Amino acid sequence: MEPVVELVDVTKRYGRAAALDGVSLAVPAGTFVAVMGATGSGKSTLLHCAAGLDRPSHGRVRLAGRDITRMREGRLTRLRRDRVGFVFQSYNLLSALTVRQNVLLPSRLGGPRGDLDGVLRSVGLDGLASRPVGELSGGQRQRVAVARALITRPAVVFADEPTGALDPSTGATVLGLLRDAVDRDGVTVVMVTHDPGAAGFSDRLVLLRDGRIVADGPTPDPVAIAERLRAVSAAGLAGAGRAA
Amino acid sequence: MRAGITAQALRRHKWALLGPTVTQCVASTVITMMVTTAASLGAAPLSPAQRAAVEATSVPEAAVAFALIAVYMAILLVGVTMNLAIARQLRDIALLRAIGATPGRIRRSVALQAAVVAVPAAGLGYPFGLGAGHAWVGGLTQHGVLPGVVAYAPSLAVLPMVIGIGIATSVLGGLAAAVRPARIRPARALTEAATRRPGIGAPRALAGAGLVVAGVVLSAVVARQAPERAGENAFFVMLAMCVGVGLLGPVLLRGVAARVRPFSRGIVRLAVDNVAAASRALSGALVPLVLVVAFALVKVASHTTPAHRTGLREPAGELWTDYSGTAVYCAFAAIAAVATLVTGLVGRQRDLAVTRLAGGTRRRVLAVVAWEAVLVTATALGLAAGIAGAVLVPVLRSAPYVPFGYLLAGVALTAGVVAAGTLAPAVALTRGRPVHVVAAAVE
Ligand SMILES: Nc1ncnc2c1ncn2[C@@H]1O[C@H](COP(=O)(O)OP(=O)(O)OP(=O)(O)O)[C@@H](O)[C@H]1O
Ligand SMILES: [Mg+2]
C-alpha cells in the first residue's frame, strides 16, 4: 500500500547548518510513529517538512498521496486543511474563541464538515462546547486540540510534544485518544516526544541524531526506549567529544 | 463571512489595532478639515475682485493638496501601524495557516480588520475635522490671508466621503502590511513569533536603499522645477525617503546600537541591547518620527534661510498659512509616532515584567526605557536632518540656516513625542505586580 507520509532524502538547512540531513522515511496508513531524539536533533523540523508547514532545502515529500515538494501554497494549505490534523505542545488554540469555534475552525475555513458532538464526546468534552478555551485547564485544552485535529477525519495527524506540558495521567488520556483514532479509524499519527512513556503508545519508533535517522523499528517497552535514547545521546556526546 | 471567522479569531489582539485606529482618526480629521475649508471658500459670497484675491492666496489649492497629502500619509501610516498590529498576531496567523487558512484568506481578514477600524475612526475624525477647519479658516481671516466675508461652512455631505476615503486608505495600508505574514511558511511563522528575529530580507533592504537613493536624486530634479510645483513634489520625495528609512530601520537602529554599545555600561548597555533586539518594532515608529522632523525642518529652513541671507521678512500672512499647514501635518505624524511607540511598548509588557522579576526595580526598568527613548530620538533626529538636508540643499543652493532656538525647540518636541510614546505607557504598564503580568501572559 502507498505510504501516507513519505520523505525521500530530505535535507533542511538553516544558513549553513543542516537541521535535517538526508532523511528518508515512509509511513504506511494506520501506523502510530513516535519520533525521538535529543534536543536540537531535528524532530520538529522533520515534522514541519513532512506536514507541509515548511519546505525542505533538498529532497522530496509526499503527503496523503500527493507530491507536495513544489505544490503551490494555496493547494498545499487546502490539502492540510482537508487531510491533516495538528496538535502542538502549546499555543494550539485561538483563545478568543470557544471550544466549539476552535474545533469547527477547519470546517469554517472551508474544510470537511465533521460531527462536532461525536468528536467532543469521544475526547470527553461534551458539555464544554460553549466555554471560552482561555478558561480551560491545560489537559482540557489539549483535548480540544485533539478534537480539532480529528474532526475532519484526516489521513494523518502530526503531533509535536502533545503531552509536553501535561502531568503523566492527563498525558496518557490524550495519547489514548490518538491511539484510539489509529485503531478505530485507521488514522496515521506521527508524534514527536521526549517521554518514553508517551512513545510507548506508538507502533514504530524513529530515533534522530544530528538531523539523521539512527534507528527505526517497532516500538519496544518504555524501559527499553529509555535505554535506547540514552545510548543514542551517549553516542552523540562521544562523537562530539571526539570532534572537540 | 469566511474572512469573518479569521478576523474574529484574531480579535484577541484588539488593542493592537489602537495604532491604526488613532492614525486613521487623525487622517480623517485632516481630510475633513481641508475638504470643508476648500468647500467653504467655493461657497463664500464673494465679489469677482475678492474671488480673484482669494485665488491669488493659493489657499484653495493648498487645501486640496493638503487633503491629498493626508490620503498618502494615511495609507503609509496605517500600513506602518497595521504592520505592528499584525506582528502581535503572528502566532495566531501561523496556527490558522497550519490548520487551513490560505494566504489569501489571511490577507482578506487583515483588510477586513482595517476596514472595520476605519469606520468609527472616520466617524470620530469628522467632528474633530470640523473644529479644526473652523479654527483654520478663522485664523486665515484673522491674519488677513482671506477676506473677512469668508465664513466656515461645515457640510454633512463630506462625512460619507471621509468614511469612504478612510476605508479605502485603511484597506490599502492593511493589504500592504499583510503581504509578508500571509506568505510566510507556517513553520517559520511559529518559530519567528517565538523569537522575533530582527533581520530584514534582501528585497526589503534593496527597496529601502533604492527609495533613499531615488529620493536624493529626485530632490535635485525637483529643485529645478517651478517653486509651486517644487514645494509639493519635494514633499513626496521626502515621503519616499522616510519610507526608505523605515524599511532600513532595523538595520539602522542596530547600527546605531552597535556604535554606542562599546561606550555603554549597566542600564545604558541594557537599553542599547533592547533597541537592537526591538529594532523591528521601533523602526515602525521611525517612519512617522523622521517624517515629522524632516517636514518641519524643511518648511522652517525654506523660510528662515532666505530671510537670514537677504535680511528681508516675508509677509506674515503667507508665513502663517504655511506654518499652520505644517503644524497640522507634524501633529498628524507625531500622533502616529506615539501610537506606534505605544503599540510596541505594550507588546513588551511581559518583557518588562520579566526584567523586574529578574531583579530590576521599577525605577531601573523605567530608566532603561528612558535611555531607549534617548537612542531612538537621536537616531530619528539624525536621519531627519539628513533627509531635510538632501531636500533643502539643491533648492536653496546653500547650507540651510535655522535659528538655534528653533532647533532646540525641535529637539525638545521630538524628545517629548518619544517620551509620550514610551515612558508614559511604561509608567502605566509597570504599575501592577510583575508576577501577575507574567502569569496572565502565559497561554
Ligand atoms: N528557524 C530556524 N532558524 C535557524 N535554525 C533553526 C530554526 N529552526 C530550527 N533550527 C535549528 O535546527 C536544529 C533542529 O531544530 P528542531 O527544532 O528541529 O529540534 P528539535 O529536535 O525539535 O528540538 P527540541 O527537542 O528542543 O524541540 C536546531 O539546531 C535548531 O537550532
Ligand atoms: Mg522541537
pLDDT per residue over B400-426, tens digit each?
999 999 999 999 999 999 999 999 999
Average pLDDT over chain A reads 90
Stretch among B18-27, B132-141, B156-165, B276-285 having the lowest mean pLDDT = B276-285
On chain A, the residues whose CB falls within 8 A of the CB of B104 are 74
- More reliable by pLDDT, B197 or B390: B390
Tell me, what's the pLDDT at A242?
Answer: 42
Burial zone of A94 (CB within 10 Å; 0-12 exposed, 13-18 middle, 19+ buried)? buried
pLDDT of residue B222: 85
Question: Is pLDDT above 60 for A240?
Answer: no
Which pairing describes strands A5-14 and A17-27: parallel, antiparallel, or unpaired?
antiparallel
- Whether pLDDT at B44 is above 90: no
Which of A116-120, B24-28, B174-178 is least confident?
Answer: B174-178
**And the C-alpha cell for B433?**
505586580
pLDDT at A241: 43
- Residue B11: its chain A contacts at CB < 8 A? 96
Is the pLDDT confidence value at A237 over 70?
Answer: no
**Chain A residues lying within 8 Å of B89, measured CB to CB:** none
Express as a percent the part of chain B with pLDDT over 70. 93
CA nearest to B185 within chain A: A54
Per-residue pLDDT at A243: 41
Which residue's C-alpha comes closest to atom 28 of ligand 1?
A40
d(CA B372, CA B268): 8
A89 secondary structure, DSSP code: S
Indicate whether A197 pLDDT > 50: yes
Q: Which of B73-82, B181-190, B418-427 has the lowest mean pLDDT?
A: B181-190
Q: Best of B99, B107, B191 to disrupt the A interface by mutation (most A CBs within 10 Å)?
A: B99
In chain A, which residues have their Cβ closer than 8 Å to the Cβ of B183? 73
> A77 vs B97: CB contact, 8 Å cut-off?
yes
Q: Give residue B10's pLDDT band: very low, low, confident or very high (50, 70, 90).
A: low
Residue B96: is its pLDDT beyond 80? Answer: yes
Average pLDDT value for residue range B113-136: 93
Flag whether residue A92 sits within 8 Å of chain B, measured between CB atoms.
yes
Residues of B with CB under 8 A from a CB of A: 2, 5-6, 8-12, 91-92, 95-105, 183, 185-188, 190, 443
Q: Is A146 exposed, middle or buried (0-12, 13-18, 19+ CB in 10 A)?
A: buried
Which of A198 and B236 is assigned the larger pLDDT?
Answer: A198
Residue B442 has pLDDT above 50, yes or no: no
How far apart, in whole angstroms, are the C-alpha atoms of residue B196 and residue B201? 14
Whole-number Å distance between alpha carbons of A95 and B440: 12
Write out the three cell numbers for B7: 478576523
pLDDT of residue B331: 92
Domains of chain A with CATH codes: 5-243 (3.40.50.300)
Which ligand neighbours the alpha carbon of B185 most closely? Answer: 1
What pLDDT shows up at residue B114? 87
Q: How far apart are CA A192 and CA B434, in angstroms?
A: 34
ipTM comes to 0.84
Full-model pTM: 0.82
Residues B143, B438: Cα–Cα separation, whole Å = 56
Taking the C-alpha atoms of residue A78 and residue A213, their distance in angstroms, rounded to an integer, is 30
**Stronger pLDDT, B311 or A201, i.e. the higher one:** A201
Chain B's closest residue to A135, CA to CA, is B443
CB < 8 Å from B in window 93-112 of A: 93-97, 101, 105-106, 108-111
Max mean pLDDT among A12-16, B66-70, B131-135, B339-343 falls in: B131-135
Render the burial of B329-359: b for 16+ CB within 10 Å, e for the rest: bbebbbbbbbbbbbbbbbbbbebbbebbeee
Grade residue A116 by pLDDT with cuts at 50, 70 and 90: very high
Residue B438 pLDDT class (50, 70, 90 cuts): low
Q: B363 CA to middle of ligand 2, Å?
A: 38
Q: Supply the DSSP symbol for A69.
A: T
- Ligand 1 first shell, C-beta below 6 A: A 14, 19, 37, 39-45; B 191
| pLDDT for the residue numbered B147 | 86
Q: Do A109 and B2 touch (CB under 8 A)?
A: yes
Q: What average pLDDT does this structure show over A182-206?
A: 95
> What confidence score (pLDDT) does residue B203 get?
84
Averaged over B199-222, what is the pLDDT? 89
* Maximum Cα–Cα distance across chain B: 74
If you measure CA to CA, which chain B residue comes closest to A152?
Answer: B99
Helices (H), B185-226: 186-195, 202-222
Q: Is the pLDDT of residue A195 over 90?
A: yes
Rounded CA separation B315/A127 (Å) = 77
Assess whether pLDDT exceeds 70 at residue A192. Answer: yes
A5-9, A11-15, A89-93, B295-299: which range is least confident on average?
A89-93
pLDDT tens digits along A47-97: 999 999 999 999 999 999 999 999 998 999 999 999 999 998 877 788 778
User: A13 — contact with chain B (CB < 8 Å)?
Assistant: no
Check CB contact under 8 Å for A108 and B2.
yes
* Number of the ligand 1 atom closest to the C-alpha atom of A15: 4
Mean pLDDT of all residues belonging to chain B: 86
Which segment of A36-40, B112-116, B223-227 scores lowest on mean pLDDT?
B223-227
Q: How confident is the model at residue A193, as a pLDDT?
A: 94
Percent of chain B with pLDDT strictly greater than 90? 37
Query: What's phi and psi for A76, nearest 5 deg?
Result: -60, -40
Give the ligand whose atoms come closest to the C-alpha of residue A50: 1
- The number of helices, as runs of H, and strands, as runs of E, in chain A is 9, 10
**Touching check for A55 and chain B: CB below 8 Å?**
yes
Give the three cell numbers for residue B19. Answer: 495604532
CA angle (A178, A183, A185) in 5-degree steps: 85
Banded model confidence at residue B6, pLDDT cuts 50, 70, 90: low
Contacts of B190 in chain A (CB under 8 A): 53, 88, 91
- Nearest CB to B9; choose among A91, A94, A106: A94
In this predicted structure, the answer to whether residue A239 has a pLDDT above a threshold of 60 is no
Strand order in the sheet with A17-27: A17-27, A5-14, A58-63, A66-67
With cut-offs at 50, 70 and 90, classify the pLDDT of residue B134. very high
pLDDT at residue B195, as a whole number: 58
pLDDT of B62 > 90? The answer is no
